[in-house]
Structure 1
C-alpha cells in the first residue's frame, strides 16, 4: 500500500499527530480522554490493514493461502483509503451515508468478529478494541474524512525509523496526554522511564511469561516485550512465536482503557495480547476469551497498582489479610500468582512502607518477607508521577518468591528534583543500575537486615543513613541578634518609603 507522505524527522511525526488531535478537538473531542480513544481504533485499523496486506504478499510469495481477519468492504483499504472503492462511493453519495455505514455496518461487523465460528485470536482482539464504540465522536463527516486522511498518511511504512521513533512510541506520547493532570487518566499511566528502569532491574528473559494484574494502557507489558525481543536476535521462529503470542498476560478493569491496552500492545509488536477484562481482586470477568491458555502462575510480574484505591468487602473476602487498601490486596495477589523463583517489580505508595498500626498492612509485609526475598527497594522522588497527575511519594519493590528475606538493599533517589518540565529520566537511575549487581553501599545506597525490619514493626520505608542533614549551629543569642538586625533593616526600609510618599 502506498502512502503520500514520508516522515523523516520526529518533529514531522509529532506535528502530524498534533494536527489530527487539533481536528478532533474542534470536532467536539475536547480533551485527550475523548480524542485518544477515538484515534486509537483508527490507528489500529490502519496498521492492521497495512500488516495484513504485507502478510498476504508474503504468503503469496511462498504460494500459501492467506485469510485476512476482515472481509471487504470492512478493511481500511476499502472504506478509509482515499482511493478505496467504498470510500469513493460514500463520500460522493448523500450526506449521512458515511456515518450510517460506520454505525450500521462497520462497527457492528467489527464487534461481532468474536462471535463468528472459529474466530482467530486477532479477530477477538479486533472485536474487543471496537466493543464500546457505537458511533464516532467526531461531529461532521467533513471533519471525519479530514481525520482519516491524516491517519492514513501515518503508517509503519511511512516512518523512517532510522531517525524517528517507531509508531508505538508515537502512540505512547498520545497516552501520556491522557495521563496529564486534569485529564483524569494518570491512574492508567506509569512514566515510561520508571518502567524501563524496572524492566532492566527484573530482566525478563525469552521463554518466561510476564503478567500485569492492573495493566492500564499496557506499558509494562510493552516495555518487557521490547526488552526481551531486543536481547534475542538469534531466537528460533518457534521462540519468537511464543514471545509474540504466549508471553504476555494482563488484567484491566476499566472499560475505556481495556481496548487502548490491546491496541498499544499490538502496535508494539505483540501479536496476541492475552488480556482479561474485569476486576482482578474480585475475579469477576467482563470478558475473558483472550485469557484462554493462561498459566496458573507467572515467571515475572511487573505492575503499578492504583494509588489510594479502596475495595469493598466482595474483593476482600478473597484474601487472607483483609483491608480496603487496593495496593495491599494487590501485593497479596502478586505473591500468590508468582511461580517459585518468579520475580516481581512493583510500584507502591510510601504509605504501605511505613504503616505499622493496621493489622492487614503488617501481616502482608510479614508474608512478603516470609515467602519472598525482598532484595531491593528504590525510593523515588516525590515528583516522579507529577506528569501523570499524581504527586504521591512512591517506592519500587523488587522481590523473588521462594525463600525468605534475609537482607534488603535500598537505593535513595528522593533527592532528585523532578517536575513537569524536568521529568525523571533513565539517567537518574544510572548509578542505581551500576551498583545493583553487587548491592554496593554509596551515599545513596545501604543494606538493612531482616532483624532491623522486624524491630521496627515491619516498617520498610527507605531512610537513608548517609543523608546529610543541615544543622543550624547558631546559639539562641546569635539568633536574637539576627532578628534584631533584620528588624532594624525593616524599620529603615519603612522610613525611606514614608519619606518618598511625602515628597
Structure 2
C-alpha cells in the first residue's frame, strides 16, 4: 500500500500531467509506464553487467556500441536514462521522441515476442518538452524513495496506486490484487520448475510476476543451471490473457523488467470460444473479475453446460477446471457469494469442485482486503483437478488480519494471519484435531455435502458465547437515582458560584 511521502510524490506527478494538458487517466498511466520501463531497462542492464562481472561471465549491454534507429545510427549510451535525464528539456524531448521511444518499440522486433506484439501501437503523447522534463525529475525522486524502502515489491504497489486513478476500474472489475495476498497464494501452492502457469484474467501480470520471483528465490539453481528448464522459464512457463490492450502492454513490460524474456500474454476473452485451452496448465493463479460486463452469447458453450449462468465468477471456476490438466492445482479468489449462493449454478459448480476434484482449502478474507477499491468480502479457494474426486477433508481458515488496517487507509499494523496461514497449510496433518472454535479447522466432505456444498466458514465455525451476569434492574435503577442526585448537587454548587 502506498502511503506517506511516496503517495504524495505520485499525487504530485499526477498533478504535473494535469497541468501539462494530459488528463486521461489511462493515457497518463501508459506514459508513466513507458518511462518506468525505460528507466528499468537502464537499471536492469547495469545490474546484469555487475553480476556478470562478479561471476566472470561475458555480458553484452543492450546499449553497447552503435544502435540503428530507422535510417540513423547512434551511440547506444545516449538511450540510457542515466545519461539523457540530465539533458536540457528540449534536447531530452528530441532524444526521447526520435530515438528512445522508437528503440523500446522495436525491442524484440526480430522475433514474435509478447513485448513486440503490444508495443506496435504504443504512442509517445507528451505534448511539451517542459512536461517531459518535470515528469522525468519526479520519477527520479519516486525511484529514490522506492529504492530506499524495505517493501519487497514497492514497484507493484506503485502500479496498484496508479491503477486506482482509472475511474472505470470499479465498473470493469479491474483492480489489482494486493501484492502480499498474491505472495501468500503463491507460497501456498509452491510453483515448481516444470510448471506451466496461467492467469486467464492477468491484468498487469501480478500473479505471474510473483510466481516468477518465487521460483527465482527457491529454484534458482534448478532452473538457471539447466538449459531446458531456463528455456521453459523464459518462454513457455508463464501464460496470461486479458481483454484490455493497455493492461496487456503494462503486463508485458512488467514481466520483461522482471527478467522473463517472452511470456505468452495474449489478447483473449477467456470465457469465450476464443479460448480453446483444455487440460493444458499445471497451475492457475487468478483473481478473475467479479462483476465485469459479460456478453452471454459469446460465452463458450462447454462452460455453460457445466454452469448455466451469467455470473463471471462461476464461469471462471468452470473455466479453471477445464484449463487445468489432471493433477493441476488452482489458487483463486472468489467473492463470498460463490461460497453460499443458493442458485442451481452456484450449487453445481461447488459440487463439481468438491465431488469430482479435490478441494483442499477455503481461506475466508476480511472485507477490507481490497479497500479502497472495493469492500467486497472474498475467499481463496485452493483445489486440485483430479476428475474423479479425492476430497476427504476441507481446511477452513478465518483470516481476520492481513498486516494492514481494514479501512480505506490500509496502514501497516502488527496483526497479521498470513504467516500462520502459510505454516498451517503446509502442515495440514496437524490440523485434523483442531476444534471448530479455532481460527482454522478441518471439515469432512460429508458435512459439506449435507449442507448443499456450502463453503462459507460461518456454516461450520462454532462460536462460544461468554455468559455475562448483569446486576438486577432494581440495583441499576438505584445507581441511576444516586447519579442524578450527585448531578443535582453539582448544579446547585455551580449556580452559587455564578450568583444565579
Q: Aligning the two structures, in what range does the TM-score lie when normalised by the shorter sequence?
A: 0.7 to 0.9
Q: Indicate which of 379, 393, 396 corresponds to 1:407.
A: 393
Q: Is the 8 A contact 2:63 2:77 kept in 1?
A: no
Q: Does 1:394 align with 2:381?
A: no
Q: CA deviation at 1:488?
A: 9.3
For residues 456 and 478 of structure 2, what CA distance do their matches in structure 1 show? 42
Is 1:312 matched up with 2:295? yes
> Partner of 2:244: helix, strand, or coil?
coil
432, 451, 456: which one aligns with 2:451: 456
1:140 to partner: Cα distance: 2.5
CA distance in 2: counterparts of 1:219 and 1:146, whole angstroms:
29
The residue number in structure 2 matching 1:355 is 341
Give the counterpart of 1:178 among 162, 165, 169. 162
* Selected match of 1:241 from 228, 231, 239: 231
Q: CA deviation at 1:143?
A: 1.8
What does 1:354-393 correspond to in 2, within 5 Å? 354-356=340-342, 358-387=343-372, 389-393=373-377
CA–CA distance in 1 between the matches of 2:220 and 2:263?
A: 22
Q: CA deviation at 1:372?
A: 1.5
* Structure 2 residue aligned with 1:227: 214
Question: Which sections of structure 1, spanning at least 5 residues, go unmatched?
Answer: 1-9, 286-290
Are 1:338 and 2:324 counterparts?
A: yes
What are the within-5 Å matches in structure 2 for residues 397-476 of structure 1?
397-402=381-386, 403-404=388-389, 405-414=391-400, 418-419=406-407, 420-422=409-411, 427-439=416-428, 440=431, 441=434, 443-463=438-458, 465-469=461-465
Give CA deviations for 1:136-161 in whole Å, capped at 9, x if unaligned.
Answer: 2x442212133336657988xx9997
Partner of 2:263: 273
Larger mean Cα displacement after TM superposition, 424-433 or 194-203: 424-433
Q: Aligned with 2:213: secondary structure?
A: helix
Q: Deviations over 1:439-468 (max 9, x none)?
A: 212511111122211211121111253433
Contact 2:401 2:417 in 1 (8 A): no
Give the structure-2-normalised TM-score. 0.76
Deviation at 1:355, TM superposition (A): 0.8
Distance change (3 Å), C-alpha of 1:225 and 1:50: same
Please say if residues 206 and 229 of structure 1, whose CA atoms lie closer than 8 Å, have aligned partners that are also in contact.
no
- The aligned runs of 1:180-329 (5 Å cut-off) are 180=164, 184-185=168-169, 187-235=174-222, 236-238=225-227, 239-284=229-274, 297-318=280-301, 319=303, 320=305, 321-329=307-315
**Secondary structure of 2:400's aligned partner:** coil
Note if contact 1:198-1:345 (Cα within 8 Å) is conserved in structure 2. Answer: yes
Q: Tell whether the 8 Å contact from 1:216 to 1:258 is kept in structure 2 after alignment.
A: yes
Equivalent position SS for 1:395: strand
Q: What is the rounded CA distance, in whole Å, between the counterparts of 1:170 and 1:324 in structure 2?
A: 36
Provide Cα deviations, 1:413-436, integer angstroms capped at 9, x if missing partner. 137762334458894222222222
Are 2:283 and 2:330, in contact at CA under 8 Å, matched by a contact in 1? yes
Q: Secondary structure at the match of 2:328?
A: strand
Distance in 2, matches of 1:299 and 1:329, equals 19
Provide, for residues 129-186 of structure 1, a one-character-per-residue CA deviation record: whole Å limited to 9, x for no partner.
463x4342x442212133336657988xx9997x6569x8242121121354885547
What do you get for the CA RMSD once the two structures are aligned?
A: 4.6
Cα 1:434–1:334, aligned 2, differ >3 Å: closer, same or farther? same
Cα shift at 1:334: 0.3
**1:91 corresponds to:** 90
Q: Separation in 1 of the partners of 2:132 and 2:255?
A: 26
On the 8 A contact 1:218/1:264 being kept in 2, the answer is yes
Contact 1:304 1:348 in 2 (8 A): yes
Q: Is the 8 A contact 1:14 1:170 kept in 2?
A: no
Cα distance in 2 between the residues matched to 1:202 and 1:366: 22
- Greater relative contact order, per chain length (Cα 8 Å cut-off, separation 6+): 1
Distance in 2 (CA, whole Å) between partners of 1:149 and 1:22 is 14
**Runs of at least 5 residues in structure 2 that lack an aligned partner in the other structure:** none
Q: Distance in 1 between matches of 2:415 and 2:284?
A: 21
